[in-house]
Chain A
Amino acid sequence: AQKITQTQPGMFVQEKEAVTLDCTYDTSDPSYGLFWYKQPSSGEMIFLIYQGSYDQQNATEGRYSLNFQKARKSANLVISASQLGDSAMYFCAMRELRTGANSKLTFGKGITLSVRP
């Protein structure tokens, strides 16, 4: 069964600094997708970035990049040049691809990020 682990306690970062949010996963499916979502206090889950297990390069989207280490089963999110608006909960999620329609998106418990001015 697929599993996502996010164990960091609340994270703090100074504005304009970079921060790494950790995510490890477990799956027996060689084909899977990894997602990161941001959930501010307003409650909406905002999609940030996607990484496929067979993608050759680490995904990047603006200030977000994914440090994908397949052998270690980790998919850490790196946020560069933190902004006050980055303060939120961040969720890592995974979906196995081989099982297709029978698979579901599984989320970790999330990490709270606070950006200090």
Chain B
Amino acid sequence: EAGVVQSPRYKIIEKKQPVAFWCNPISGHNTLYWYLQNLGQGPELLIRYENEEAVDDSQLPKDRFSAERLKGVDSTLKIQPAELGDSAVYLCASSLGDRGHDTQYFGPGTRLTVL
């Protein structure tokens, strides 16, 4: 069974440029998460989807970040415009459901460098 797929793995852009990350969750997983991981820290949730509905986007900086999961499967996270402080790893995860004990499975992440 394929795991969570993310692309690109690495992205280098200049500040003020837009950037987009793509995630394909494990087949059959209804819940999808986007996390931000700064160097030396644990991941922090940005947004959670139940099918195509964003059920928790309280941590998403909505002035520059946006996300979508139009058909309830794959998802895109966008930053426009990017700032120097956005340099980090962006992780996507999925789970069967959103019960507290449902294990979240992570993709390899996208390492973003903003110059």
Residues of A within 8 A of B (CB): 4, 31-33, 35, 37, 42-47, 50, 52, 91, 93, 95-97, 100-110
Contact = CB atoms under 8 A, between A and B. Distances in A.
A104 B43 contact: no
Interface in B93-108: 93, 98-101, 103-108
Given A44-B109, A45-B93, A93-B42, A105 B55 contact: no
B109 A105 contact: no
Top-8 shortest CB links A-B:
A107-B42, A97-B100, A45-B106, A44-B108, A43-B109, A33-B101, A95-B100, A104-B45
B14 interface: no
A95 B102 CA distance: 10
Interface of B: 40-45, 48, 50, 55-56, 89, 91, 93, 98-101, 103-109, 111
A43 B111 contact: yes
B87 to A, nearest CB: 14
A33 B101 CA distance: 6
Given A43-B111, A45-B93, A103 B100 contact: yes
Given A42-B108, A43-B89, 14 more contacts: A31-B100, A37-B106, A43-B108, A43-B109, A43-B111, A45-B93, A45-B106, A91-B42, A95-B101, A97-B101, A101-B56, A104-B48, A107-B42, A109-B41
B40 A100 contact: no
Contacts of B108: 42-44
A43 B50 CA distance: 25
A50 to B, nearest CB: 6
Contact of A47 (B41, B98, B103, B111): B103
Contacts of B41: 109-110
B99 A35 contact: no
B91 A45 contact: yes
B101 A105 contact: no
A27 B99 CA distance: 18
7 contacts: A37-B106, A43-B89, A44-B108, A47-B106, A91-B43, A95-B100, A100-B99
